[in-house]
Structure 1
Amino acid sequence: MAGENEVSAVELPITGSCHCGAVTYQLKVRPRFAVECNCSICRSLGTVWGHGEVGDIAVTAKPGATTSYVWGDRQLAFHTCKTCGSTTHWEAVAGDAKGRMAVNLRLARPGTIEAIGHRHFDGADTWSFLD
């Protein structure tokens, strides 16, 4: 049974925020599934992603509220709140994924990931789903 603040069905938009509330997001579409990736950065961040197109996601933050981290093939910019350190989202800045974004569903209401459905992605090796 879902708790008082948990969701049992996906209500749109899906909203979330960093710990201090300086960065918020709205995911306007239901992702096909929540994705937990085992690549080195996602594993280190402990994120579970909800993917969408840039137009499907609205991130609200004052200018300079986040810092971004781009590494490896330099295609994704991971955004983290400068105040509390929560990783809120990534945005594709180059390559085939350009125009795509994802938000950290661990920052949404409890039960959101379970209501969407959770899949594990092997970003460390095979670039395929493990389940």
Structure 2
Amino acid sequence: MPLKGSCHCGNTKFEVSEPPADVTRCTCSFCSKRGALWAYYKPAQFRLTSPEENVATYLWRSRTVKHHFCANCGCGTFGESPDWSTGKPDFDNPKIGVNARLLDDFDLDAVPVTVVDGKNLW
């Protein structure tokens, strides 16, 4: 059963195929200022259910990660990036990072949080 999520104003809505088993807190300057807890999915496990024009995109530094946010209320909603699990970008295996704080009917306190030291990694 898909899990739904949305931004504050409701203009950007999405679904993921299942609840996350864990979430990630990145300490890089962007993620720490945004305050997101990221749940990662394969592209086939994510579906934007609102019009694409409701979503704005921020590209920073290397421009390899698309940081999406609601064009109306500004909530950071999801991102698209290559898989970085090997330490190098794997563009053949992209992933979607969903801001788990925006998931409806989900107990965020019930899943473990992994901290990634993005402040010193990139």
User: Larger radius of gyration, structure 1 or 2?
Assistant: 1
Alignment pair present for 1:91 and 2:80: yes
Deviates more, 1:104-113 or 1:34-43: 104-113
Q: Which amino acid aligns with 1:42?
A: C
Query: Aligned pair count?
Result: 116
- The answer for the alignment partner of 1:70 in structure 2 is 59
- The 1:64–1:49 alpha-carbon spacing in structure 2 relative to 1, beyond 3 Å, is same
Q: Distance in 2 between matches of 1:100 and 1:110?
A: 23
- The 1:96–1:123 alpha-carbon spacing in structure 2 relative to 1, beyond 3 Å, is same
User: Unaligned stretches of 5+ in structure 1?
Assistant: 1-11
Alignment pair present for 1:25 and 2:14: yes
Query: The residue matched to 1:109 in structure 2 has which SS?
Result: coil
Identify which of 110, 114, 120 aligns with 1:115: 110
Q: What is the deviation of 1:14?
A: 2.6
CA contact (8 A) 1:53 1:99 kept: yes
Note the alpha carbon deviations across 1:20-71, whole angstroms, 9 max, x for none.
Answer: 1111121213434111111111011111111011111112221311110111
The percent of aligned pairs where both chains have the same amino acid is: 28
User: Unaligned stretches of 5+ in structure 2?
Assistant: 84-88
Alignment pair present for 1:101 and 2:96: yes
Higher helix share: 2
CA contact (8 A) 2:82 2:90 kept: no
Identify which of 58, 73, 77 aligns with 2:47: 58
Query: The residue matched to 1:16 in structure 2 has which SS?
Result: strand
Query: The residue matched to 2:44 in structure 1 has which SS?
Result: helix
Alignment pair present for 1:40 and 2:29: yes
CA RMSD of aligned residues (A): 2.2
Higher strand share: 2
CA contact (8 A) 1:67 1:79 kept: yes
